[in-house]
Amino acid sequence: MSYVESVLAPGEQVLYRGRVSGWSLFWYWIVGLLLLVVGVGLIVWIVAWIKLRSTELAVTNKRVVAKFGFISRETIEINLARIESVQVNQTVMGRMLDYGTIVFSGAGTPQATIPSIASPLEFRKAVVGAQS
């Protein structure tokens, strides 16, 4: 069972699942390839794969849930009613490869940042749609 499914409240439904972009881990893949000759590259690739697979992002009908980490865990859970603005930050490379960072700000909540999201505009659209 995934983290998102384990924290759903009664009546809460997942509307959209986001994911981390593999492009955001580009340097892990390149460094891993270069270090493959030494035998360390496989370890770098495993670290990148764990980062990719251990991050869960979801928009439910009540909140936004993000979980990062495999051994240590960091979570962000923001009620949709508390979100006042959703900001999408993309570099030029991020725009070309369709990944970026989303920053949520809202009432009583410091800014919450979710980095390296694939299709960040779709994620933002899902959040705004769930708020209506």
| pLDDT per position as a tens digit, 48-61 | 899 889 999 999 99
Prediction pTM value: 0.86
Cα separation, 105 vs 46, in Å, equals 33
Residue 70: what pLDDT? 86
Q: Supply the angle between the helices 26-35 and 41-53 in degrees, to the nearest 10.
A: 160
- Gap between the Cα atoms of 106 and 116, Å rounded: 21
Domain 13-131 classified CATH 3.30.200.20? no
Q: What pLDDT, on a 0 to 100 scale, did the predictor assign at position 107?
A: 75
Residues in the chain where the model's pLDDT stays below 50:
none
Q: What is the pLDDT of residue 5?
A: 92
Show the tokens assigned to 29.
């893949």
Contacts of 109 (CB under 8 A, 6+ apart): 78, 82, 83
pLDDT score at 109? 63
pLDDT (0 to 100) of residue 9: 92
pLDDT of 7 reads 92
